[in-house]
A and B are shown apart, each in its own frame.
Chain A
Amino acid sequence: MPSSILPFVAEQLLTDIEKSYKERSQLPDDLLIALRSVFGSCALQALDLVDQRSVTCVSSPSGRRVFRVMGGSGQMYTCYTSCHYCPCPAFSMLVLKRNTSLLCKHILAACLCQAMGLSQQEQVSDQDMTRILAGQAHTDL
């Protein structure tokens, strides 16, 4: 089975986005369209999340960082920084199970916010971070 090249395409695209945003503080239309091409329908939703600044980079004194993305319905999703995972059902369905999508919109939103520097920052304690990482932070930490 041939290996996928889309991750490289996506990574390149995100790099371009980062560069473009750094230079001009905005994204040109062609990058938006390219996002749509590569990521499909979650691009639009991810951009919506970006617009609402729903991505928070949570860090703890130990240096551990994690992303928390506020979904549309108010639910928080925790995404890791060094690998792709999101607890949302779309991720497990589309990425893990069916492999019809590269990412879910939360991860993509986190990537975009990180690339464009639009993520909010939050500090939590180490113990809180542990709970967030373990996915057991039910309260709004």
Chain B
Amino acid sequence: MADILDAVFRRHGHPTSASSEDKSVLSHSTTECDGSSVVVIGKRGVCSALLFLTAVTAASELGHKVIFYTHTVIQKFPVPVQESMTSLKPDSLKKIKFVYPRSLEELLLDVASLHELGSSAAAAPSLVLVDGLDSYLHGMDGVGRAGAGGPQREEMSATAHLAALLIDTSSFLTRISEKTGDSRCIVKGPAVQCRIIVSYHSDWEAVTTDPKLSVLDRYFPTRCTLVQELRSMAARDESQHEWQVYLSGAGVSGGTANGQQWHLGVRANGAMEFSRTSKSKEPGDSDQQREGV
């Protein structure tokens, strides 16, 4: 969901930016991004960090109940989050539920079982994050889809299954929360929507050729791409990485450029800082590659 990301970006914006007006900024997220599902693409580390940050931010400040699926058990909070955690309320972290499915089947079962919680509205999550989709979708064998068309088709089918399940679950949960009429979060939108953010770790060169991503694009209309800036990779030392963050897709109405662009700076201590870049900058190659898909 791009609006949450947008909110996250703004929340963790550059100190010089208008972060003081965070509350009002956060409350309005419908200006440019809607509540559609987002797939975050980028390198593993930064993606996970972003997702985690989003989870934390959403849980603590945006009032979401978050479920976080990831492959590896999070022992500790990623470094980038720690910096930001000072402003977080500690008990808000309880709103995040971490689930560690080890395989695709488990992930499917876990997501599928969300509806069982749904009977009690209090337990229904309003933000579902899945980190590292690719790790689940890799090497899937014996998922039960053997057939003609080759492994690629199976992969695509599995990807689609997972994506569709997530979407279906989110719409179900949205319905549930609508029925209960429970205002889950501070954001008083027209509908309390259960949002999904998934992350797909890949190098941005492989973005265009990966068929799974094309499938994901069909289910997740918004894409957030993190591209590491070359100059940060080459010249700079490892202390600070610069990333270009592109928001694109149907869920983003970005005017002529068809995308938003943010700049992410990861400081040496791991803190993440977002700053909006000017629109004059051309969208990165990833966007255009996406067009060509």
Contact = CB atoms under 8 A, between A and B. Distances in A.
B23 interface: no
A66 B108 CA distance: 15
A45 interface: no
Interface stretch (B53-61, B81-89, B148-156, B222-230): B148-156
Contacts of B116: 62, 126-127, 129-130
27 contacts: A1-B292, A63-B115, A63-B118, A82-B168, A83-B167, A83-B168, A84-B164, A85-B160, A87-B157, A91-B160, A92-B149, A93-B149, A96-B214, A97-B149, A97-B152, A126-B116, A130-B112, A133-B112, A133-B165, A134-B108, A134-B109, A134-B165, A135-B108, A135-B144, A136-B105, A136-B109, A136-B144
B118 A89 contact: no
B102 to A, nearest CB: 14
Nearest to A133: B112
A96 B118 CA distance: 30
A8 to B, nearest CB: 14
A81 interface: yes
Q: Which of B105, B165, B169 has the most CB of A within 10 A?
A: B165
Contacts of B176: 63
Interface string B253-293: 00000000000000000000000000000000000000110
Interface of A: 1, 60-64, 66, 80-85, 87, 89, 91-93, 96-97, 126-127, 129-136, 138
A98 B287 CA distance: 21
Contacts of A82: 167-168, 171-172
B9 interface: no
B72 interface: no
B113 interface: yes
Interface string B147-187: 11100111011001101110111011001100000000000
Contacts of B215: 96
A88 to B, nearest CB: 9
Contact of B147 (A66, A89, A131, A132): A89
A134 B160 contact: no
B144 to A, nearest CB: 7
Contacts of B143: 135
Interface residues of B, number: 40
Given A82-B168, A126-B115, A133-B169, 9 more contacts: A61-B119, A63-B118, A89-B149, A97-B153, A130-B109, A130-B115, A133-B168, A134-B105, A136-B144
A61 B119 CA distance: 8
B211 interface: yes
Contacts of A64: 115, 118, 172
B134 to A, nearest CB: 17
Contacts of B109: 130-131, 134, 136
B145 interface: yes
B133 to A, nearest CB: 15
Contacts of B291: 1
Nearest to B146: A89
A63 B176 CA distance: 8
Q: Which of A60, A63, A127, A132 has the most CB of B within 10 A?
A: A63
What are the 9 closest A-B residue pairs judged by CB atoms, nearest first?
Answer: A85-B164, A133-B112, A134-B108, A82-B171, A92-B157, A64-B115, A80-B168, A134-B112, A130-B112
A131 B154 CA distance: 20
B219 interface: yes
Nearest to A127: B116
Contacts of B113: 130
B218 interface: yes
Interface string B191-222: 00000000000000000000100110011000
A129 B164 CA distance: 15
A81 B168 CA distance: 7
